[in-house]
Amino acid sequence: MTRKRAPDTAVPPQSTVSPGIELGPWERWLSSWAILALLVVPLAVLQQIDALLVFATPLDVLRDVALLTLLCGLPTALLALLGAVLQRMLNAGGMPGARSSLIADGLVLAPTLWVLLWQLSRIGWLWLKQATGHELVVSPGMRYAVMAGFVIALLLGWRLLSRAQLRRRLVEHARALRWPGLALITSAAALLAVSPPQWVVAAPSPDAAKTEVHRPDVILITLDALSAIDADICSDTPSLMPQLQALARQSTCYTRLYASSNFTTPTTSSLETGTLPWTHLATQISAKVAPPFQRHTLAQALHDSGYRTYTSTDNQLASVRQRGTQSAYMQHAISPSDLLRDRFRAALTLWPQSSVPMLVDSALSFLGAFDMLWHAQTSPFDSDRMLARVHGFLNEPAQGSPAYVWVHSMPPHSPYLPPPSTKYRLLPRGELDRWSDFMGDNVPYAPELQPRVDKHRLRYQESIMATDEAVGRLLAELQRAGRLDKALLIISADHGESFEKGFLGHAGPKLHEAVVRVPLIVKLPGQTLGRVETMPVSQADIAPSVLDLLGLPPLPAADGRSIAASWKGWAIDSQPVFTMSMERQSRFAALKVGHFAVIDGSYKLIVDLQRPHAARLYDLAADPGENDDLAAREPAKLQRLQELLLSRLAQAEIRRRQTTHTSR
């Protein structure tokens, strides 16, 4: 008897998708979102938690984490959508299902996993810096290694995902994250529903009834990282800034304006509020002005008196949105540079009280390597583009109201990549041509590197020359439009720049003249006679002086005083001036940390509160380079200035307690 042969079992073709190995579009989205929410967001917050808690309450931090968690859903949704569309297109083109699914999964998961790996490596790098106690500088080669690592990671990821067993495990792990991720996302949404973040707002048009008294337009232009030492615009000797020097001859030019600190956030806060950092408490890079002072601003006072108010910058740290003081401005634009990182950060300032831009910038810091490559020899910041906003704002519909315009332009801040009109005037071609050739920003350097740092300074000075050309073009345009002679024009800087004393750039603990002494030009309406003022004045004096000159009520809690009388050529008394670096000082703790300087006449005292016995005293008239410490030879002068500083610190501590009590 013949046995019937069983029919052959059909062997599935290689293109069949193994059960459970494919993620659907919804699963891709939720899994990728869960990876960011559960892993990347906590890592980004962990890197910044010490910085956050010195100016933000725990509730503020939780709100930022919740907002960032929900925002992660946007890029992951876009990736999931692209993955689904790509998979359909590949299937329609005849590609086997397994391969098209692999490509779609890779498109969604690979960028997510890359950001996770980057965060892990960055935390390791930061830990290494802290453990060694050294400033570890990222070399150009390391930056390019980051980009090469990105490509290698994608290739390795593709190779691994091509193996069914490994891919199945990855898919299983991704699926397992969905539900805890969904729980976290739901909790974040609930928190924001109960305590929503503040949206960006703009001031309404001014009350027309308040414009009956004719007042001039007020134009404030601040240039980032412009040192008075390098600019040298008040003297009669040849300057790197001939356009500003020519303006100074028809204005009041101050040779000793001291910034309130040595980097942008606290100094621009002082320009706005007329208060010093120990009062407004915006002493960290992403800190907000303390809530009681967010409406204590020059712009608010001018808007309340009938001024149209406008501001714009290409440096996010100089933006009023960054500091939470935007409500006094009818327009408060951030004009992003050509940097990818800047565009992401600027888009997230829709929530001005949030630190989300700082957290996202930390998570996406690897974009800096790509920015450096794409902007190899050309600065991503354009002075002409930024300064043109002055004329644009002035041409807004006036309706009889004067305008207050504040524009802050990034150059000559690093990268020191001047345009062709000035590049190679001071340093020849072949050195420091590309962004990647420069040392890092705001870093200490060894004495043997001074010759290289001197070359950095030459490129910086070429950037100053280019900035001066751009300002000159703006002044010519204002003159042609008949606005220059009718306005109150103020040109200054937020802080200086150091190429000496073992420190390159700004920020940090240093308070020597290069980083805290900045230019100041004040031109009154119709003024043609120039004068030079040599007494020390404070950045916090500018806002009170503008209000005094215009006959408006003063800012009630200003630390600065009005120096408007000197703008008119009248003599005023000299008073001590203070500048400080308080990056490690929490606004919720007593004032015991920080570096402070007191300038009284020609004398300058510099004190580290944690090392008060190492105070240094200089006579700037005899020793402008601050090389001869007089602390041991002039004990009476040292003691008097120390007592003055301690007295002001005690007053500031009382205000800090009151401020933080009302802020909580």
Q: Going by C-beta distance under 8 Å and a sequence separation of 6 or more, which residues neighbour residue 20?
A: 168, 171, 172
- Which domains can be identified in the chain, with CATH numbers? 25-194 (no CATH), 215-338+375-534 (3.40.720.10), 584-664 (3.30.1120.10)
Residues β-bridged to residue 253: 521, 532
Give the residue, 346 or 275, on which the prediction is more confident: 275
Q: What is the CA radius of gyration of the chain?
A: 28
**How sure is the predictor about 21, in pLDDT bands with cuts at 50, 70 and 90?**
low
pLDDT of amino acid 579: 98
What token pair was written down for 78? 């876009």
Average pLDDT for 626-647: 97
Across 99-113, 410-424, 480-494, least confident range = 99-113
Amino acid of residue 143: R
| Nearest to 118, CA basis, from 151, 82, 150, 73 | 150
| Nearest to 311, CA basis, from 400, 213, 203 | 203
4 pLDDT more than 50:
no
Across 395-409, 467-481, 498-512, least confident range = 395-409
Distance CA 352, CA 288 (A): 9
211 pLDDT more than 80:
no
461 pLDDT more than 90:
yes
For 228-271, the pLDDT digits (tens) are 999 999 999 999 999 999 999 999 999 999 999 999 999 999 99
pLDDT of amino acid 16: 38
pLDDT of amino acid 456: 97
For 287-338, the pLDDT digits (tens) are 999 999 999 999 999 999 999 999 999 998 899 998 999 999 999 988 877 8
Whether residue 497 contacts residue 230, with contact meaning beta carbons closer than 8 Å, is answered with yes
Average pLDDT for 354-361: 84
What token pair was written down for 556? 């009630």
Average pLDDT for 595-600: 98
Give the residue, 583 or 8, on which the prediction is more confident: 583
Average pLDDT for 589-598: 96
5 pLDDT more than 50:
no
For 214-232, the pLDDT digits (tens) are 899 999 999 999 999 999 9
Count of Cβ atoms closer than 10 Å to residue 204 Cβ: 8
Distance CA 180, CA 517 (A): 53
Q: For every residue of 326-345, which 3-state class applies, written as one string?
A: HHHCCEEEECCCCCHHHHHH
Count of Cβ atoms closer than 10 Å to residue 327 Cβ: 19
Distance CA 590, CA 597 (A): 19
pLDDT of amino acid 144: 59
Distance CA 287, CA 290 (A): 9
6 pLDDT more than 50:
no
Count of Cβ atoms closer than 10 Å to residue 57 Cβ: 14
pLDDT of amino acid 47: 81
- ∠ CA 51-53-57, nearest 5°, is 145
663 pLDDT more than 60:
no
Distance CA 159, CA 214 (A): 72
For residue 590, give the 3-state DSSP assignment: coil
**How sure is the predictor about 140, in pLDDT bands with cuts at 50, 70 and 90?**
low
State how beta strands 252-258 and 531-533 pair: parallel
Q: How far is CA 342 from CA 560, 600, 623, in A?
A: 33, 40, 41
Residues β-bridged to residue 312: 333, 407
542 pLDDT more than 80:
yes
**How sure is the predictor about 9, in pLDDT bands with cuts at 50, 70 and 90?**
very low
Mean pLDDT of the chain: 87
Type and span of the H or E element at 488: strand 488-493
Q: How far is CA 642 from CA 276, 574, 578, in A?
A: 18, 18, 12
130 pLDDT more than 70:
no
For 27-72, the pLDDT digits (tens) are 788 888 888 888 888 888 888 888 888 998 888 999 999 999 999 8
94-103 long-range contacts, CB within 8 A, separation 24+: 96/13, 96/14, 96/15, 97/15, 97/16, 97/17, 97/22, 98/14, 98/15, 98/16, 98/17, 98/18, 98/21, 98/22, 99/15, 101/17, 101/21, 101/22, 101/23, 102/161, 102/162, 102/167
491 pLDDT more than 90:
yes
pLDDT of amino acid 94: 83
For residue 233, give the 3-state DSSP assignment: coil
pLDDT of amino acid 213: 64
Q: DSSP letters of 534-577? A: -S-EEGGGHHHHHHHHTT-PPPTT-SS---HHHHTT-------E
pLDDT of amino acid 644: 97
Average pLDDT for 534-544: 98
12 pLDDT more than 80:
no
| Nearest to 217, CA basis, from 388, 393, 384 | 393
Cis bond before residue 412 (omega within 30° of 0): yes
Distance CA 585, CA 17 (A): 58
pLDDT of amino acid 39: 84
Whether residue 225 contacts residue 259, with contact meaning beta carbons closer than 8 Å, is answered with no
Distance CA 166, CA 178 (A): 19
With 0-12 CB in 10 A as exposed, 13-18 as middle and 19+ as buried, what is 369?
Answer: buried
pLDDT of amino acid 11: 40
What token pair was written down for 570? 């009248």
Whether residue 65 contacts residue 45, with contact meaning beta carbons closer than 8 Å, is answered with yes
Whether residue 240 contacts residue 461, with contact meaning beta carbons closer than 8 Å, is answered with yes
What token pair was written down for 322? 């960054």
pTM for the whole structure: 0.89
pLDDT of amino acid 399: 67
For residue 492, give the 3-state DSSP assignment: strand
Q: DSSP letters of 32-52? A: HHHHIIIIIHHHHHHHHHHHH
154 pLDDT more than 80:
no
What angle separates helix 340-347 from helix 367-374, to the nearest 10 degrees? 130
| Residues 510, 511, 515, 516, Cα dihedral to 10° | 160
